[in-house]
Amino acid sequence: MQISVTLMPCKKNTNMRKILLVLLVVFSLVSPVYAIEYGGIGGYPANPDPENTSTNQWFIYTLNLGETIEDSIIIENTSSEAVNVKLYPADYTASTDGGFALEQEVESRDEVGSWVTLSATGLVVEAMSQIVVPFTITVPNDSSVDVGEHMGGILIEKVSDEEGSEGGLQINLRVGVRIYITIPGEVSESVAVGTIMFDTNLDKRIGVVTTNIENSGNVSENVKVSTSVENVYPIFDKIWSYFPVENERSLQVLRDDDLVSNFEFNLPLFSYVKINSKIEYTDKNGEIVTVEADPVQTWIYPPLMWSIITIASIFGILFFLGVMLFLKIKDRKSHKYFY
């Protein structure tokens, strides 16, 4: 780490200046010098709502049909070099894991992506600087635009003339800022939990609980997913003291969408467990809604080698007891005939 110190002139404190200079020289001799690397390109809303902390990172509006709003996005370059970027709006699409994603530039814009008009689509952002880019959003005055939440975003893509090192492949990195637009009307909230799925990796002794969450309403919901795994029989609590295991996580489930929440935990060697999972969210009336999945009960078995050893041991013990019993009975019969 490289450190620079500026010493202000002071006639009355020359001794202190000498001490500081000596300390600076000593520190520079023992401290390695590192190159400072900054993150790169990013963006965020220029006019967040102080009463809604989510607007620090997302654009959130309530707009009527035919209404237009003006706003701005801040494009920030935290790298040490100037960067060429291009901006473009895009529609929302579900990611592979059910989360939020934005469509590619070449894909058609049919919803929020077509409602956004940017004042600039290409610009150069100097090193360690910001640029404010105004834009407008106009909701079509069309009855085909349904009530509820509509999603999209503004994508910021770094433009590079350099080609990839293999096969001429060029990789463009992009970041997006979400846009949520709610069309006023009757809000429908409906979040359900599907069947709990349980899978095990016996080699690594890992269990995976999968909770399926489905939002069939017309607005997004911020949900808390709670999952627990506990022994059914109390005797196992004494053997596996780290049970039960619990997990909580917060997720956003978008309208007309579903996603999965996975929870991994270390398996006990042998047990019969009960798996519970539930979600909680706050509805439009401020009330907490709780939805529970049907619990699942299942055996957890030891690894194959342990199973073979256990079964072989049981059969070995039974065989030994059988032999001993046979010899004892035979011995009694021989004594009977002797007398």
104-126: per-residue pLDDT in tens? 999 999 999 999 999 999 999 99
Mean pLDDT, all residues of the chain: 82
Q: How far apart are CA 45 and CA 177, in angstroms?
A: 8
Mean pLDDT of the 20-32 span: 33
Which is higher by pLDDT, 168 or 259?
259
Which is higher by pLDDT, 80 or 167?
80
Does the pLDDT value for residue 313 go beyond 70?
yes
Q: What pLDDT sits at residue 36? A: 29
Of the candidates 165, 143, 148, 105, which has an alpha carbon nearest to the alpha carbon of residue 255? 148
Does the pLDDT value for residue 14 go beyond 70?
no
Does the pLDDT value for residue 31 go beyond 70?
no
Query: Phi and psi dihedrals of 207, rounded to 5?
Result: -110, 145
Does the pLDDT value for residue 47 go beyond 50?
yes
Q: What pLDDT sits at residue 165? A: 42
In this structure, which amino acid lies at residue 288?
A: I
Q: What pLDDT sits at residue 336? A: 56
Does the pLDDT value for residue 244 go beyond 50?
yes
Q: What pLDDT sits at residue 96? A: 62
At 39, list the tokens: 């993150």
Mean pLDDT of the 227-247 span: 91
Q: What pLDDT sits at residue 315? A: 79
Mean pLDDT of the 200-222 span: 91
Does the pLDDT value for residue 62 go beyond 50?
yes
pLDDT single digits (tens) 267-277? 988 899 999 99
Q: What pLDDT sits at residue 17? A: 44
Q: What pLDDT sits at residue 24? A: 34
3 state SS of 107: coil
Does the pLDDT value for residue 58 go beyond 70?
yes
Query: Phi and psi dihedrals of 158, rounded to 5?
Result: -75, 125
Q: 80 CB contacts (<8 Å, ≥6 apart)?
A: 36, 37, 38, 127, 128
Mean pLDDT of the 323-328 span: 77
Does the pLDDT value for residue 327 go beyond 50?
yes
Does the pLDDT value for residue 39 go beyond 60?
no
Q: 112 CB contacts (<8 Å, ≥6 apart)?
A: 89, 91, 92, 137, 150, 151, 152, 153, 179, 181
pLDDT single digits (tens) 133-162? 999 999 999 988 999 999 999 999 988 755
Which is higher by pLDDT, 315 or 153?
153
Q: What pLDDT sits at residue 9? A: 38
Which of the given ranges, 239-243, 280-284, 315-319, 326-330, has the highest pLDDT on average?
280-284
**Would you state the torsion angle of the CA atoms of residues 159, 161, 165, 166, taken in this order, to the nearest 10 degrees?**
80
At 264, list the tokens: 């991994």
Q: How far apart are CA 212 and CA 257, in angstroms?
A: 11
Does the pLDDT value for residue 5 go beyond 60?
no
Percent above pLDDT 90 for the chain: 56
Least trusted range by pLDDT, from 185-189, 218-222, 235-239 = 235-239
